[in-house]
């Protein structure tokens, strides 16, 4: 059980009121959206992807790339915006990433991304909102 305290905290009722049922299942229940189901997968404009749970900027569009996985993928997060933990669910060992401000589950990090980082932050689109650059 995660006992870490985050700068933004909400009761379960507040989370359910703020998030759609799918967002709640992914972000608070560590679920995964269906691949290819999110409109943000095809978002190519300049801007910032932020956490739906607390509005924290997470990823810049210039670091988004097409991974062919069916989920938005990024090289690197905004510094300090994402924290990682070990996820041992489903008989696998993976690196989970979550919002550093509210603790919401975002997705997983894999070491099969393009240069320069070699990382692929594979993020559930329902956990993100997009703010186009001005």
Q: Which residue ranges make up each domain of the chain?
A: 12-132
Among the listed residues 38, 51, 54, 122, the single catalytic one is: 122
Question: CA-CA distance, 68 to 99, in Å (whole number)?
Answer: 24
Q: What CATH number matches the domain at 12-132, 3.40.50.150, 2.170.150.20, 3.30.70.20, 2.160.20.60?
A: 2.170.150.20
The one-digit pLDDT tens for each residue of the chain (134 residues) are 457 789 999 999 999 999 999 999 999 999 999 999 998 999 999 999 999 999 999 999 999 999 999 999 999 999 999 999 998 887 888 899 999 999 999 999 999 999 888 999 999 999 999 999 98
Give pTM, 2 decimals: 0.92
Is 122 noted as a catalytic residue in this protein?
yes
Tokens 């692929």 belong to residue: 120
DSSP 62-101: GGEE--SSSS-EES-PSTTSEEEEEE-GGG--EEEEEETT
């Amino acid at each position: 059980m995660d006992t870490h305290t985050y700068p933004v905290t909400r009761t379960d009722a507040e989370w359910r009121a703020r998030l759609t049922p799918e967002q709640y299942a992914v972000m608070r229940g560590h679920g995964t959206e269906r691949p290819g189901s999110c409109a943000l997968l095809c978002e190519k404009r300049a801007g910032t992807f932020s956490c739906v749970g607390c509005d924290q900027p997470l990823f810049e569009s210039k670091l988004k790339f097409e991974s062919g996985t069916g989920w938005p993928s990024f090289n690197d997060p905004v510094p300090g915006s994402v924290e990682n933990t070990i996820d041992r669910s489903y008989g696998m060992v993976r690196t989970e990433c979550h919002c550093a401000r509210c603790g919401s589950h975002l997705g997983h990090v894999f070491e099969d991304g393009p240069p320069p980082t070699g990382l692929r932050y594979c993020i559930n689109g329902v956990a993100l909102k997009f703010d186009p650059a001005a």
